[in-house]
């Protein structure tokens, strides 16, 4: 039986950050992960360049049943704190749209920084180690069994940093949720987030020819909107604006897309009618949008009509179709391609200050396993760093 002060299940972003902080406090720390490599999601994130945080972080960038829960951790370990670490390691980075910060070279720079910090803090990371069962013993200590009982561990503080369910091939598992249930914590229903939409068969056929087209749009769901690109794919709709809105969408609901957010199309068509009456409608529209896209949305006869012969109602129809395109996705691509898992361990059962379970002393939950989900843009890593850092001060 191995004895440790702190055992962390999951060597992802949250688990490693917690390990570093606990190690610095002189605690003996073991991180167990079932994968062959630590930090798989960091390695594959941001297209290999890891969007590690964002210049502009607030609780408004997160979803969860308790929108206030994340505030404490986000304010105690901020994006500036993580950035200071990145700068200390001289990792070259750059800002993209909406304050998103990416490595210039490779996500491996972030991983190597975490490994170096773990090493300095005396943390041991053990891979290929699936934790199978946990028991709480007298004095609030924990006993863990791995490899069906061949390896046994004992610790004072147990940290669950097992992440969500997305990308099952990357070691994700529902084990964190099972531990929560075992200790009587509530769970919020889980579903795939930051995920592309699939389309109903008729829409799929209608938009098949548009695969590969990306356009800057305003995508809305009720009162939430995102202004970023959408991408038509052979399966449906993707691109950053679609991934963002997927966090808010529920099956059966509509989303609305403004394909020309910069333009008052109705006024534009009326003006063109005055200045170029002999021009066809499609000529005006082709200055704004790709030909293939216009053809998929509007009737050919209407498109070939000269502006002079067009009625106001026809302009209204066109503006409606292109600026208030309403579409009901068939579903999402699910956990196979989702970047995150919405829902998870109910934050009402967790201290927002220490990340300890209120009814299980010594048991902590951090990162994506909790019901805290960020927007696309470095917010999910910032939550992992912040919650991991905070728990690391107490475990």
Ligand X SMILES: Cc1cc2nc3c(=O)[nH]c(=O)nc-3n(C[C@H](O)[C@H](O)[C@H](O)COP(=O)(O)OP(=O)(O)OC[C@H]3O[C@@H](n4cnc5c(N)ncnc54)[C@H](O)[C@@H]3O)c2cc1C
Which residues in this chain contact ligand X in the complex, by CB under 6 A? 9-15, 32-35, 40-41, 44-46, 50-51, 130-131, 161-163, 166-167, 171-173, 175, 339-340, 367-368, 378-381, 384
Nearest one of 81, 62, 11 to 41, comparing CA atoms? 11
Shortest Å, Cβ 141 to ligand X: 19
Nearer to ligand X, 123 or 384 (CB): 384
Least distance from ligand X to the Cβ atom of residue 237, Å: 18
Q: Which is nearer to ligand X, 283 or 352 (CB)?
A: 352
Residue with Cβ nearer ligand X (59 or 289): 59
Q: In whole angstroms, how close is the CB of 156 to ligand X at the nearest point?
A: 19
- Cβ of residue 238: shortest distance to ligand X, in angstroms? 13
Write the Ramachandran bin of 86: left for phi over 0, alpha for psi from -120 to 50, otherwise beta: alpha
Q: What are the residues facing 225 on neighbouring strands?
A: 220
Would you say how long the chain is, in residues?
395
Cβ(341)–Cβ(167) below 8 Å: no
| CA-closest candidate to residue 78, choices 395, 391, 385, 339 | 385
Q: Environment class of residue 223 by beta-carbon count within 10 Å: exposed (0-12), middle (13-18) or buried (19+)?
A: exposed
Element spanning 341, H or E: strand 340-345
Task: Give the separation between CA 127 and CA 121, rounded to whole angstroms.
Answer: 18
Q: How far apart are the first and last CA of the chain?
A: 20
Asked whether 15 and 367 are in contact (CB, 8 A), the reply is yes
- Measured from the CB atom, the residue of 9 and 260 that comes closer to ligand X is 9
CB of 38 or CB of 298, closer to ligand X: 38
Instruction: State which residue, 44 or 296, has the beta carbon closest to ligand X.
Output: 44
Name the minimum Å distance from CB 17 to ligand X: 8
Q: 27: number of CA atoms within 13 Å, CB side?
A: 25
Closer CB to ligand X, 45 or 332, in the complex: 45
> C-beta of 145: minimal distance to ligand X in Å?
11
How many whole angstroms separate alpha carbon 198 and alpha carbon 208?
12
Question: What is the smallest separation between the CB atom of 160 and ligand X, expressed in angstroms?
Answer: 9
- CA-CA-CA-CA dihedral for 94, 100, 106, 108, to nearest 10: 130
């Amino acid at each position: 039986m191995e004895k440790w002060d702190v055992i962390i299940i999951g060597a992802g972003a949250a688990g490693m950050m917690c390990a570093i902080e606990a190690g610095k406090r002189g605690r003996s720390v073991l991180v167990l992960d079932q994968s062959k490599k630590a930090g798989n999601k960091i390695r594959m994130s941001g297209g290999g360049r890891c969007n590690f945080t964002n210049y502009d972080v607030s609780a408004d960038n997160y979803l969860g049943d308790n929108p206030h829960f994340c505030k404490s951790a986000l304010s105690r370990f901020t994006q500036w704190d993580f950035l200071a670490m990145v700068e200390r390691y001289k990792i070259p980075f750059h800002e993209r749209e909406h304050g998103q910060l990416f490595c210039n070279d490779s996500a491996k720079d972030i991983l190597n920084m975490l490994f170096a910090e773990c090493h300095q803090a005396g943390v041991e990371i053990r891979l290929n180690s699936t934790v199978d069962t946990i028991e709480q013993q007298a004095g609030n200590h924990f006993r863990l069994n791995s490899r069906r009982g061949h390896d046994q561990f004992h610790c004072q503080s147990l940290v669950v940093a097992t992440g969500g369910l997305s990308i099952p091939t990357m070691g994700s598992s529902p084990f964190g949720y099972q531990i929560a249930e075992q200790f009587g914590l509530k769970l919020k229903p889980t579903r795939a987030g930051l995920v592309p939409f699939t389309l109903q068969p008729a829409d799929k056929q209608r938009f098949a020819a548009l695969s590969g087209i990306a356009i800057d749009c305003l995508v809305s769901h009720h009162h939430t909107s995102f202004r970023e690109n959408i991408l038509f794919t052979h399966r449906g709709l993707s691109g950053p604006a679609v991934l963002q809105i997927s966090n808010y969408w529920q099956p059966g609901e509509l989303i609305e897309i403004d394909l020309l957010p910069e333009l008052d199309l109705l006024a534009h068509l009326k003006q063109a009618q005055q200045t170029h009456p002999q021009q066809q409608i499609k000529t005006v529209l082709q200055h704004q949008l790709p030909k293939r896209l216009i053809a998929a949305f509007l009737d050919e006869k209407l498109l070939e009509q000269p502006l002079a012969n067009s009625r106001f109602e026809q302009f209204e129809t066109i503006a409606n179709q292109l600026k208030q395109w309403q579409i009901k996705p068939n579903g999402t691509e699910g956990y196979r391609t989702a970047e995150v898992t919405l829902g998870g361990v109910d934050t009402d059962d967790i201290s927002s200050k220490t990340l300890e379970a209120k009814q299980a002393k010594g048991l902590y939950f951090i990162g994506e396993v909790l019901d805290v989900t960020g927007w696309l843009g470095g917010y999910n890593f910032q939550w992992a760093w912040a919650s991991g850092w905070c728990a690391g001060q107490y475990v």
